[in-house]
Amino acid sequence: MVNDGDYVAIFNSVHRVMKAEKHLKEQKLQILLIPAPRALSSDCGLAIRYGAGDREQVEGVLRTAGLAPEEIYLKSGDRYLRVDSEF
C-alpha cells in the first residue's frame, strides 16, 4: 500500500486525520487515507500517504490549515525514515 519513496503523515487523532484528508482532497491533491503502517505508531490508526512530487503542496495545505502531522516518514526499502518538516 505504501510504495518506496512515498511519504506517510501520522496524526494523533482520527478527527485531525479526517480533517486533513478533507482539506487535501478539496485541493485535488493525490493523497490516500490508509491504515497506519504497523512499523509506525499511531494513536488513531490512520495515516495519509502522498508522493514525493506532491510533498511541498500537501505539507503547505496542512500548514495553512493548522493541521500539522505528529510525524512524517519516508518509505525507503523496507524501512520508514522519519523526516523533518517545517511545521
Tell me: the pLDDT tens digits for 6-39? 999 999 999 999 999 999 999 999 999 999 998 8
The full set of domain ranges for the chain reads 7-83
Q: Report the 3 state secondary structure along 44-65.
A: CCEEEEECHHHHHHHHHHHHHH
Task: Measure Cα distances from 79 to 7, 37, 65 in Å.
Answer: 12, 11, 29
Q: What is the predicted pLDDT for the residue at 28?
A: 97
Over 80: is that where the pLDDT of 86 sits? no
User: Would you identify the CATH topology of the domain 7-83?
Assistant: Alpha-Beta Plaits (3.30.70)
Q: What is the predicted pLDDT for the residue at 64?
A: 96
Tell me: the pLDDT tens digits for 39-73? 887 777 999 999 999 999 999 999 999 999 999 99
